[in-house]
């Protein structure tokens, strides 16, 4: 542990897509802080593997609920039960996404709606589900995960990039709407992060060389580079920060 945020201990934290990649790092970091972590994911195997890892490290064990985030009714039901059993969600981390590459010709109406559902729609509905508890408590921190891909205009996943650009507007709108209740909303915008998925599918030696040439910092970013910032924004240490987009891309934009 590099930093101990004492105010995060025993806080109720909800993370979407927490089973692998950046989400898994976020879950692990909150568990290390002693938070009460609840996370949803569609991948049962990866989620169970994460819980085993966290348990072996003797961090606080997270609570996993299997959920397809396209099923908003089920998602709402899960969040309602968590709140009924444990009290309001103090910290909401909207992380789940799918950055599968595609061309314009690959996209039909069904695919478009699917990408919006995975990469944007659940962000809105999780916020809607937790906000009343945060309002009643008079505090809360919401962190939405974006992507620098739309800033770069990479052109190999237009539906994904469209959804991720919308995260900026969603974050700023909720920051304004909920700010009077002392609820903060910020977005964290990662660049190329060396998750297992990225390494397996796209982080070729050629692409890595291109990245390092473009980045100001000449190293590959890791999931912990993102989760460390998420912790800061979740903590009251950042109590003056809201309506902002915090970029973690080693200076590529």
Q: Is the pLDDT of residue 236 over 80?
A: yes
Distance between CA atoms of residues 73 and 11, nearest Å: 25
Query: Residue 203 has what pLDDT?
Result: 83
Q: Which of 6, 111, 160, 207 is catalytic?
A: 160
Topology adopted by domain 7-248: Rossmann fold (3.40.50)
The domains of the chain are located at 7-248
Query: Residue 197 has what pLDDT?
Result: 83
* DSSP 8-state symbol, 57: T
Query: Residue 63 has what pLDDT?
Result: 98
Q: Is the pLDDT of residue 61 over 90?
A: yes
Q: Which residues contact 47 (CB under 8 A, 6 or more apart)?
A: 18, 19, 20, 39, 41, 64, 66
* Alpha carbon distances (Å) from 85 to 12, 38, 80, 211: 11, 12, 9, 46
Average pLDDT of the segment spanning 8-19: 98
By mean pLDDT, which of 49-53, 104-108, 194-198, 229-233 is the weakest? Answer: 194-198
Average pLDDT of the segment spanning 241-247: 98
Instruction: Categorize the per-residue pLDDT at 247 as very low, low, confident or very high, splitting at 50, 70 and 90.
Output: very high
By mean pLDDT, which of 122-136, 187-201, 208-222 is the weakest? Answer: 187-201
Average pLDDT of the segment spanning 156-166: 95
Q: Which residues contact 175 (CB under 8 A, 6 or more apart)?
A: 184, 185, 186, 242, 243
Query: Residue 169 has what pLDDT?
Result: 98
Q: Is the pLDDT of residue 103 over 90?
A: yes
Q: Is the pLDDT of residue 64 over 90?
A: yes
Please name the residue ranges forming H helices in 93-222.
Answer: 109-116, 122-137, 149-152, 158-178, 196-201, 205-214
What percent of the chain is modeled with pLDDT above 70? 100
Q: How many residues does the chain have?
A: 253
Find how far residue 140's CA is from the centre of its chain. 16
Q: What are phi and psi of 186, to 5 degrees?
A: -135, 160
Q: Is the pLDDT of residue 187 over 90?
A: yes
Average pLDDT of the segment spanning 31-39: 98
What percent of the chain is modeled with pLDDT above 90? 91
Query: Residue 75 has what pLDDT?
Result: 98
Query: Residue 45 has what pLDDT?
Result: 97
Query: Does residue 160 have an active-site annotation?
Result: yes
Mean pLDDT, rounded, of the chain: 96
pTM of the model: 0.96
Query: Residue 154 has what pLDDT?
Result: 85
Average pLDDT of the segment spanning 199-223: 90
């Amino acid at each position: 542990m590099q930093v101990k945020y004492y105010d995060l201990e025993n806080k109720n934290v909800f993370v979407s897509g927490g089973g692998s990649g950046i989400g898994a790092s976020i879950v692990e970091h909150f568990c290390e802080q002693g938070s009460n972590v609840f996370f949803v994911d569609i991948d049962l195997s990866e989620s169970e593997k994460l819980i085993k890892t966290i348990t072996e490290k003797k961090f606080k064990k997270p609570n996993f609920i299997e959920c397809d985030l396209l099923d908003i009714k089920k998602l709402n039901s899960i969040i309602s039960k968590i709140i009924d059993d444990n009290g309001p969600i103090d910290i909401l981390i909207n992380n789940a996404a799918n950055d599968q590459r595609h061309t314009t010709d690959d996209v039909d109406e069904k695919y478009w709606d699917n990408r919006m559902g995975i990469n944007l729609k659940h962000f809105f509905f999780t916020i809607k589900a937790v906000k009343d508890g945060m309002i009643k408590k008079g505090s809360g921190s919401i962190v939405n995960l974006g992507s620098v891909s739309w800033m770069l205009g990479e052109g190999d996943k237009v539906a994904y990039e469209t959804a991720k650009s919308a995260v900026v507007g969603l974050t700023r709108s909720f920051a304004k709407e909920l700010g009077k209740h002392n609820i903060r909303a910020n977005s964290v915008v990662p660049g190329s992060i060396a998750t297992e998925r990225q390494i397996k599918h796209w982080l070729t030696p050629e692409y890595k060389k291109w990245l390092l040439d473009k980045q100001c910092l000449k190293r590959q970013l890791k999931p912990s580079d993102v989760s460390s910032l998420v912790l800061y924004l979740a903590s009251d240490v950042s109590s003056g920060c809201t309506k902002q987009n915090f970029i973690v891309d080693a200076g590529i934009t």
